[in-house]
Structure 1
Amino acid sequence: MPGPRRRSALIALLTREPGAAPQAAILDELRRALLEGGVPPGTAIPLDEVAAVFGVSRIPVREALKTLIGEGLVEHRTNAGYTVAKLTPAELAEMYLVREALETAALAAALPAAGPADDDAARAAHEALEAAIAAGDVTAHHRESRRFHFALVSPCGMHRLLKMFESAWNITEPVRPMAHIAPGDRSVLHDDHADMLAAFVARDAEALLSAARAHHSRLASLLGAVPQHTGLLAERGPGEIYD
């Protein structure tokens, strides 16, 4: 006789905010749970259980999942349901190239527009990231690394560019690449962050872009550390597309 069905890891992370508009609340909460790293790629998203958390029918849950499919965070396969999206190793590398291109453009525009408040925000994010690395807290590392990079690019004020950068960053988050590299490599990456911060505060565009290039080059070389035998990454055949 089969044992009791285990509760989905996703369901355990969802919370319902009293008074929130159901459609917006479902979308925001699902996105938050996927980006915080507790739901690995390939995890099933049980429609009925999500609906029960929010006290709604399947319809608004499906609508929220359609939006997340468009954002690259969720996949749907006929007869298999909804799952947290997987990337192939090539797609993961591609998304980091996209992130680099967008960040480079944003940094170039951000530096002339930055002021003392932006310096303070970047320093605070850098300190929080340093503390996360020292503590070996991978979840905080991902959160604070994101905060640091966004602190550097936000002064550019180019909202469409920043939205594309955010979207590209989001797509890679469920994989949690930093969880799979050695602590020493994380420290080396953080040395790049220190160089980027120093150049940002000095308003040295050449040094900032050079440090950013070195950082992304190092990131690209470390992506191979993400294990390919655990189900985190997809193994799709040529031309196979999930809707």
Structure 2
Amino acid sequence: MAKPPRAFVRPPTAQEAVLVELRRRILTAELAPGVQVLQEAFAEELGVSRVPVREALKILAGEGLVRYKPQHGYFVTEHSGEELLEVYRIRQLLEAEAVRVGLGGLTLAGLAAMDAEADAVESAARQGDVAALIAANRRFHFTLFEASGRKRLVRLISQLWDAAEPYRASYFADQDNRATVPSEHRELAAAARRGSVPEVVRLLDAHRGRGMRALQGTEGFSG
């Protein structure tokens, strides 16, 4: 019996590979806010020319993750306290809208996915695995937001999350902060299962507010 043809998987270009790696390092704070991205050193480390690094940085600049300073180069975006407060206030509005639109359409599979990600958050928090915790935390929340079916809305929320993600790494590095997150996620998942929009919005606001207050005391958060 003839074997079915193997699906063709297009390999990433050098630019795509560099973009993924740079974005990962920025969002996990391996490249901390304010740090210069040295194109030549990064290209040498990854075994590519400077061209894909430069093109990837242009894309990241468009996303707001890096900033270009003439005669100096690219630097990981560093937000002031006022800027991050603005990010969190806009998130509050957009995330509430996503919940209002999408909670009624959250399927049993979606609820199960939230429970699974809550388990992943708890496991990562217990092990002190900050990178895994950041990833699971994001998947948990976006399972809820994506139920809205509003792709543009979800994309805007994602961009706002990206702005604060490097600071979130510092937040999760603190053991006390890691300890509070799992129970808050369990409460959110339970409220989502009950289908209560006001309760989910209230819990999200409280959850986000605690994170914001803690972030204001983390290293790299400038006033």
Shorter-normalised TM range: 0.7 to 0.9
Q: Does 1:35 align with 2:31?
A: no
Aligned-partner Cα distance in 1 for 2:131–2:18: 23
Aligned-partner Cα distance in 2 for 1:91–1:125: 29
Q: Does 1:147 align with 2:139?
A: yes
Aligned-partner Cα distance in 1 for 2:37–2:134: 23
The alignment of Structure 1 onto Structure 2 pairs a total of residues equal to: 213
Render the CA deviation track for 1:72-124: whole Å, top value 9, x for unaligned: 11122123221211111211222222222221111111211111110110000
Aligned partner of 2:109 among 100, 103, 117: 117
Show the counterpart of 1:137. Answer: 129
For residues 192-231 of structure 1, the aligned pairs below 5 Å read 192-227=184-219
State which drifts further: 96-105 or 110-119: 96-105
For residues 85-96 of structure 1, the aligned pairs below 5 Å read 85-96=77-88
Aligned-partner Cα distance in 2 for 1:201–1:115: 9
Aligned-partner Cα distance in 2 for 1:138–1:203: 30
Show the counterpart of 1:240. Answer: none
Aligned amino acid, residue 179 of structure 1: F
Checking the alignment, whether the CA contact within 8 Å between 1:75 and 1:84 is kept in structure 2 is: yes
State which drifts further: 65-74 or 93-102: 93-102
Aligned-partner Cα distance in 2 for 1:213–1:179: 18
- Displacement over 6 Å in runs of 4+: none
Aligned-partner Cα distance in 2 for 1:20–1:224: 38
Aligned-partner Cα distance in 2 for 1:161–1:137: 30
Aligned-partner Cα distance in 1 for 2:112–2:17: 32
Instruction: Provide the identity percentage.
Output: 33
Checking the alignment, whether the CA contact within 8 Å between 2:172 and 2:178 is kept in structure 1 is: no
| RMSD (Å) for aligned C-alpha atoms | 2.2
Aligned-partner Cα distance in 2 for 1:234–1:221: 13
If the length of structure 1 is used for normalisation, what is the TM-score? Answer: 0.78
Aligned-partner Cα distance in 2 for 1:163–1:21: 24
Show the counterpart of 1:101. Answer: 93
Render the CA deviation track for 1:14-64: whole Å, top value 9, x for unaligned: xxxx94222322222221222233221122211122333455443332222
Deviation at 1:234, TM superposition (A): 4.6
Classify 1:204/1:66 alpha carbon distance in 2 versus 1 (closer, same or farther; 3 Å).
same
Show the counterpart of 2:5. Answer: none
Aligned-partner Cα distance in 2 for 1:51–1:140: 26
Aligned amino acid, residue 93 of structure 1: L
State which drifts further: 186-195 or 197-206: 186-195
Q: Does 1:77 align with 2:51?
A: no
Checking the alignment, whether the CA contact within 8 Å between 2:104 and 2:195 is kept in structure 1 is: yes
Checking the alignment, whether the CA contact within 8 Å between 1:180 and 1:225 is kept in structure 2 is: no
Classify 1:90/1:26 alpha carbon distance in 2 versus 1 (closer, same or farther; 3 Å).
same
Aligned amino acid, residue 213 of structure 2: S
List runs of 5+ in structure 2 lacking aligned partners. 1-9
Q: Does 1:178 align with 2:171?
A: yes
Aligned-partner Cα distance in 2 for 1:64–1:104: 33
Classify 1:197/1:53 alpha carbon distance in 2 versus 1 (closer, same or farther; 3 Å).
same
Aligned amino acid, residue 195 of structure 1: E
Checking the alignment, whether the CA contact within 8 Å between 2:215 and 2:221 is kept in structure 1 is: no
Show the counterpart of 2:38. Answer: 46
Aligned amino acid, residue 74 of structure 2: Y
Aligned-partner Cα distance in 1 for 2:181–2:12: 39
